[in-house]
Amino acid sequence: MPRNILFIMCDQLRWDYLACAGHPTLRTPNIDALAARGVRFSRAYVQSTICGSSRMSFYTGRYVDSHGAAWNNFPLKVGELTLGDYLRPLGRRTVLVGKTHMAADVEGMARLGIDPNSVIGTRVTECGFDPYERDDGLHGSGPAGRYDPRPVPYNDYLKAHGYSGDEGWDDWANAGEDEQGNLLSGWFLKHARRPARVAEEHSETPYMTRRAMQFIDEAGDEPWCLHLSYIKPHWPCIAPAPYHDMYDDDDVPAPVRDVSEKSAPHPLFDAFMQSRVSQAFSRDEVRQAVIPAYMGLITQIDDQIGVLMKHLEQKGLRDDTLIVFTSDHGDYLGDHWMGEKDLFHEPSVRVPLIVVDPTPAADATRGTVCDALVEAIDLVPTFVDACGGEAQPHRLEGRSLLPWLHGTPPTAWRSHAISEYDYSATPYAARFGIPSLDARLFMVADHRWKYVHAPGFRPMLFDMANDPDELHDLGADPAHADQCNALQTVLTRWALRNAQRTTISDARIASMRGASLKKGILIGYWDESEVPDEVLHAKWRGARGY
């Protein structure tokens, strides 16, 4: 059994921006080495295409529709169990270094009298983790104040290292400068090819890696689960030297898009295509500026994973540590005339997922690729399984991936992957007159089809076998109505799943069958002759002289 779990997450890293996943020009030798030691899941889907809600599914093992934190900064309900709640009873100190995008249910905590500064309150606030260092990596500020009001130790770190002012993240790490040394903000896409204004060692990725190594050193012999959660390659997209010019125009893949996508598009796809960020990434100039920096940031992460792996080896932890490498969602990068994420084309909803199990049980599958449909919610059950815990299907909706790693594939694996997106906080809900609670999209994908249910609109449908680039939306085509209906039926079955009966296990329910009779609850008995003797005796004869 692995002693430790190292759960590495990137932010906004597409599934195909790794050399081991087939990227033609990107260099990721250390991540590739993880894939060679473990299993790479080539069809891994996130439960939502936006940071906060995707992560809440990663951390709870539950669909967004189940935990309800459906968008960034929608608080996670105080009662939801998270990774730490599952792993602490299994003896793993569960710690965070980096980002969660968690919004605490402050109202719920107040209602239940939970002091946010207590140990329990901190965990409820910090997504179930003991925060070794929390940094969501988004420290913008404007006329309405700071986006993230928490303290930023990284800003203090930069200041201590000679970067002036209190906003080092914004002014140095995520900015460049012109020839006169003036700040050129990394928020502006046109600056993406400039070097960031920090020495590489002071940039976020190495900083967080060092914090992770500090934790590992301090933890000593205590078993742990460490969530090392990088903000990069998420925007602002600007890389420190030498990563800022490691890639060039020639290294940028052509966009996956077709003008036909703009003719009679699904109204919501159309709306998203019209957004500022989509308009921007539809321009070659933007892609050519941003993608090399995005790639540089990935190679920087790869190098830091190399540093971290060497550290694990030096500490003798290599064969004791289960390692996961993944991302919270992808990035369109101009594919399908889109920027950002939000919708369900593969560049957005599909993520890298590599799992390295150091135990001999996984030897036979090292270096293999598994194309089963796996989901972000499978990680918590995987970790519970790896630590010898019992499956808890009454609250964990994913399933352990270990059977895949151990060469014993489950006979009845899921046939469809589900993802969700809540657009109630975007301008489109109001624009289309969709009530806030209905402003949701649901993806159902199998090995061939991808279907999107959009209440208030027609569905979307892609045939990934004949149209692997997802350029032809068949959702309006009467010839595919049966296919849509079949996938809608799958969605219905999913929607009727039993997701909230979380306080009682199936085993405990089974033990309740017939139990009330033995506690004297006699339903439908005409007279005493019908009652088992031991019940009758205990109820009256013995105890009270009947």
Residues 405-464 that bind a copy of itself (CB under 8 A): 422, 424-427, 430, 436-438, 440, 442, 453, 455
Binding segment for a copy of itself among 142-150, 377-385, 407-415, 472-480 (CB under 8 A)?
Answer: 142-150
Q: Which residue has the tokens 């449909």?
A: 373
In the region spanning residues 182 to 201, those forming contacts with a copy of itself, defined by CB under 8 A, are 182-183, 185, 187-190
Q: Residue 486: left (phi > 0), alpha (psi -120 to 50), or beta?
A: alpha
Among 165, 367, 407, 410, binds a copy of itself (CB under 8 A): 165
For residues 432 and 149, what is the distance between their CA atoms, to the nearest angstrom? Answer: 33
Among 14, 27, 67, 350, binds a copy of itself (CB under 8 A): 67
In the region spanning residues 295 to 314, those forming contacts with a copy of itself, defined by CB under 8 A, are none
Binding segment for a copy of itself among 109-117, 263-271, 309-317, 369-377 (CB under 8 A)?
Answer: 109-117
If you count them, how many residues does the chain have? Answer: 546
Binding segment for a copy of itself among 18-26, 42-50, 224-232, 530-538 (CB under 8 A)?
Answer: 530-538
In the region spanning residues 318 to 337, those forming contacts with a copy of itself, defined by CB under 8 A, are none
For residues 428 and 438, what is the distance between their CA atoms, to the nearest angstrom? Answer: 12
> Does 204 contact a copy of itself by CB under 8 A?
no
Q: Of 84, 79, 169, give the one whose Cα is nearest residue 131.
A: 84
User: How many Cβ atoms sit within 10 Å of the Cβ of residue 90?
Assistant: 17
Query: In whole angstroms, how close is the CB of 244 to a copy of itself at the nearest point?
Result: 18
Query: In whole angstroms, how close is the CB of 484 to a copy of itself at the nearest point?
Result: 13
Phi, psi of 33 (to 5 degrees): -65, -35
Q: Of 424, 333, 527, give the one whose Cα is nearest residue 64.
A: 424
Among 22, 25, 147, 468, binds a copy of itself (CB under 8 A): 147
| Tokens read off for 132 | 């070794």
Closer by beta carbon to a copy of itself, 12 or else 28: 12
Beta strands 141-142; 460-463: pairing state: unpaired
**Residue 161: Cβ-neighbour burial (10 angstroms; 0-12, 13-18, 19+):** middle
Give the angle subtended at the CA of 4 by the CAs of 378 and 126, to the nearest 5°: 65
Closer by beta carbon to a copy of itself, 211 or else 287: 287
Helix (H) or strand (E) holding 382: helix 379-386
Among 22, 153, 409, 520, binds a copy of itself (CB under 8 A): 520
> Does 275 contact a copy of itself by CB under 8 A?
yes
Cα dihedral sign, 76-79-83-84 = positive
Among 281, 294, 344, 451, binds a copy of itself (CB under 8 A): 281
> Does 480 contact a copy of itself by CB under 8 A?
no
Query: In whole angstroms, how close is the CB of 438 to a copy of itself at the nearest point?
Result: 7
